[in-house]
Amino acid sequence: MSYSLAIATVAFLIAILAGYPLIRFLKHMGIGKQIREEGPDTHHSKTGTPTMGGILVWGSVFITTAVFNVLNSQSIVVPAIATAATGILGTIDDILGLRGDAQGLTVRIKFAGLTIIALAVAFAIYGALRIDYLFIPTVTERWHLGILYVPLAALAIVATANAVNLTDGLDSLAGMCAAVAFACYGIIAHLQGQGPLATFCFTVVGALLAFLWFNAYPAVLFMGDTGALSLGAALAAVALMTGHLILLPVIGFVFVAEALSVILQVGFFKVTGGRRLFRMSPLHHHFEMLGWSETHVSQRFWLVSMLTGMVGIALALI
pLDDT tens, position by position, 167-220: 998 999 999 999 999 999 999 999 999 999 999 999 999 999 999 999 999 999
Note the pLDDT tens digit of each residue in 49-91: 888 899 999 999 999 999 999 887 888 999 999 999 999 999 9
Look at residue 235 and tell me if it is in a domain. yes
pLDDT of residue 49: 87
Look at residue 70 and tell me if it is in a domain. yes
pLDDT of residue 318: 87
**Does residue 2 carry a pLDDT above 80?**
yes
**Does residue 253 carry a pLDDT above 60?**
yes
Look at residue 127 and tell me if it is in a domain. yes
Look at residue 228 and tell me if it is in a domain. yes
Number of domains comprising the chain:
1
pLDDT of residue 42: 62
Look at residue 161 and tell me if it is in a domain. yes
Domain enclosing residue 132, as ranges: 2-246
Look at residue 22 and tell me if it is in a domain. yes
pLDDT of residue 34: 62
Look at residue 208 and tell me if it is in a domain. yes
**Does residue 110 carry a pLDDT above 90?**
yes
Over its C-alpha atoms, the chain yields an Rg (Å, rounded) of: 19
